[in-house]
Structure 1
Amino acid sequence: MQTLYLGCLALGVIFTVVSVLVGDLIGNALHGIFDFVSFDFLNPAVLTGAVTVFGGAGILLTRYSGLEDGAVLALSLLIAAFMAVVLYLAVIKPMDKSEMSTGFSMNDLPGKIGEITVPVPAAGYGEIMVKFGAGNSLHTAASFEHQSLPAGIKVVVVEVREGVAFVSEFEERKGADM
């Protein structure tokens, strides 16, 4: 039985090291081949963690507890199942919800409010900063109405042409019924 536990422990450690070193390459090569499995609990990190804990618990219980092989096997399985649930609830599930993309498209710019960071001359280019999610992005800007716009004022992106955001000064309406 100790060979089984040692094998599970070694397999888990090897899988973890390989995942850290070349996990992205393997993931890109397989490209969603296991997406049909819709159980979040069958995450490779959870399964690997359970196998590793099973092996480690089995070795420790065999060496230091004095329990019979059947009891060590059952207790090792319980410990592995418990740790898999803890790993899933404490790490995998919260991380799944915390993913945020910072990607955007220039087509998303029209209608966004930004701030002039480099003054925009009446006939030329400046720069605006627009907030996307948790980050800011800088874009080349030109005046939509061919008026100079000083740094620090709020603008709204009217349209995007050839990678340039055409902006107009943003005027907040006060007291308007919405």
Structure 2
Amino acid sequence: MGDDQFKLPPGFRFDPTDEELVVHFLQRKAALLPFHPDVIPDLHLYPYDPWELNGKALSEGKQWYFYSRRAQNRVTNNGYWKTLGIEEPIFSSSSSNPTKKVGMKKYLTFFVGEAPNSGIKTNWTMHEYRLSSSASDCASSSTTTTTSRSSKRRGQSNTVRIQWIRSV
């Protein structure tokens, strides 16, 4: 599932900022609104180890982008994703309200082995995004998350994943 599958025009480059991922993709996904280009596929993440994701998501350089439903269990076939305890706010850059928080970004890393305390830390990292409560005006009961990953293991580099959940 590479760029060709999405029938993108020649020269198309997908390199969104954190704000763009949250505002232009995540908010619209949580609100069930259409967006163009609709290039980020849905993927059930946790049956896959990070190195198995190539070809299942929109790939742009060393980053992969996809939506996945939010899950409490972050265990894969050969390991697990562990939070690093770091969260950063994502702010709007709009001139009308440049200090408006639109989302949060959490960092995770992948460990090979059994959760929660054993395992070998890898170079795979994930950035998980979620909407802030003020950012989900049009989807007031939504929580949305996005994730990105990087790896130097097995020849892979970065992966970005967008996770989302719609609660009623």
Asked if Structure 1 and Structure 2 have the same fold, meaning a TM-score greater than 0.5 normalized by the shorter chain, the answer is no
More helix by share: 1
For CA contacts below 8 A with separation 6 or more, give which structure has more relative contact order: 2
CA radius of gyration, larger in = 1
- TM-score band by shorter chain is under 0.3
